[in-house]
Amino acid sequence: MTLMAQAGLHIPAEEFSEVAVFEDVFADIGDEQSIEQSLSTFSSHLSRIIEILRHIEAAKESRTPDIRGKLSETLAGKNAHQQPRVLVLLDELGAGTDPSEGSALARAILTFLLERHVTTVATTHYSELKAFAHEQPGVVNASVEFDIETLSPTYRLSIGLPGRSNALAIANRLGLDDRIIERGREFLGSAGVRMENLLEGLQSERKAVEDERFHLNMERVEAEYQRKQLEEERHRLEEQRVKVLNEARAQAARELDEVRASLAKVKVDVSRVNMTRERLGEARQRVQDLEDKVTRIPEPRRSNRRAGADAEAISEASQGPLKIGDTVRVLSFGQNAELLGLSADRSEADVQMGPLRIRVNVDNLERLGKRQPAAGERAAPSVVLPRYEDRPEVAMQLDMRGWRVDAALEELETYLNDAAMSGMSSVRIVHGKGTGALRAAVREHLAHHPLVKSYTSAPPQEGGDGVTIVKLSV
């Protein structure tokens, strides 16, 4: 893939993948043994490796500046020694000879390349080299997973874990006599058995960690969903409160205007007829009562912020100064919460409401025990959210071949929501080719969907234009 990328070809990789650029690429792959040249497997491999190492040394010498060059680079603030950008690929390093000597020689070659900062990829079955990679800084184990049950590779690369040769397990699956396999285990020795058991344990732990990470991601998605739902509900209740207050204030203002008009008429009548002082006083008192009624109705607000002095005056006048640690009630949600902190101007507060931490206005809080609900008063409704365990498992693909467009789009919307809540990063939509109407409708829907990050046709061997691969924004 390195050579493909540097040649400008497409490579099988995720979007935004990074590929290193090398000046030289050397490889020792395959078996070049020759009877004519008296070369064994080991000799043919070693001859090629010697040639590679000589090229690396020659490249190093050509890049090493002389004393004058070193002085110039030092004054210029550059590195005095620049290593070549080289990639070396070694297949079955040290194979074809005595395992002890072969592994020792392989370790020496890897150390030589490591000291020269040469990027190296080497395959091996030697346990000694696996241990070397585990202990040596700058070297890391990797393995390609293998399914013992089906005797086939999974094509999954595990970074950080050495692979298992699985020779005895594969022999057992292929039907080799159990007595021979047991005798082989005895010959393997306790050290070999311990190594195999260690690798098996590490792989099991790795899988457990990946499963735990998956479930943690599900919980994170669930918490984010709940937070958004609560935020939407809070906005809805705030808008409803503003609407009610506006209507009440408008009604009171209309009544006040009517009374003021009546008062003006009364004053005119006083100048024309003989009105008693008591009647005029009653009219004025009615006007004053309605003005007080309007004043008592709070001014509606659409912003979450207000002056700190007003918020502090309201909270302290009605229930005393709020303190961190107080148990309060969030009026807009009808839920109890713990006060965690106040903003600098004391206009907003951070509260812990169940598993969620949210920020609310101070005048949206009420300290418990200070206010008793009036008779017949109903508490604000609680927000009921779907739980993760109540949701069905989501398949990796949705097959809608033969569906009508309306029904297909409705099912697609439900499927995308369930897939996102399940933490899936990508799904397959099977719509078939046909006339192309269903495919066009599906992709038009995906193009404007907030949960869709991108979509594309499947590879030809996986359905081509009859299947759409969708990446979700999770």
In tens, the pLDDT along 55-97 reads 988 877 776 555 444 544 444 444 434 566 899 999 989 888 8
User: What pLDDT sits at residue 356?
Assistant: 58
By the 8 A CB rule, do 339 and 349 touch? yes
User: What pLDDT sits at residue 22?
Assistant: 92
Cα(357)–Cα(360) distance, integer angstroms:
10
Domains of the chain: 2-216 (3.40.50.300), 305-372+380-386 (2.30.30.30), 391-472 (3.30.1370.110)
In tens, the pLDDT along 105-163 reads 999 999 999 999 999 999 998 888 988 988 899 999 998 887 777 777 888 888 888 87
Candidate from 234-238, 296-300, 388-392 with smallest mean pLDDT:
388-392
Contacts of 299 (CB under 8 A, 6+ apart): 245, 249
In tens, the pLDDT along 18-66 reads 888 999 999 998 766 555 544 577 888 888 999 999 998 887 777 655 5
Q: Quote the tokens at residue 199.
A: 């690798």
Cα(449)–Cα(468) distance, integer angstroms:
15
User: What pLDDT sits at residue 315?
Assistant: 42
Cα(347)–Cα(313) distance, integer angstroms:
10
User: What pLDDT sits at residue 27?
Assistant: 93
Residue (of 338, 333, 331) closest to 354 by Cα position:
338
CA-based torsion, 90, 95, 99, 100: positive or negative? negative
By the 8 A CB rule, do 402 and 432 touch? yes
- Between these two residues, 437 and 387, which has the higher pLDDT value? 437
By the 8 A CB rule, do 412 and 397 touch? no
Q: What is the mean pLDDT of the chain?
A: 76
User: What pLDDT sits at residue 443?
Assistant: 94
User: What pLDDT sits at residue 197?
Assistant: 66
Has residue 419 got a pLDDT over 60? Answer: yes
By the 8 A CB rule, do 248 and 221 touch? no
Mean pLDDT, residues 274-281: 56
Cα(343)–Cα(359) distance, integer angstroms:
10
Predicted structure pTM score: 0.41
Mean pLDDT, residues 183-188: 79
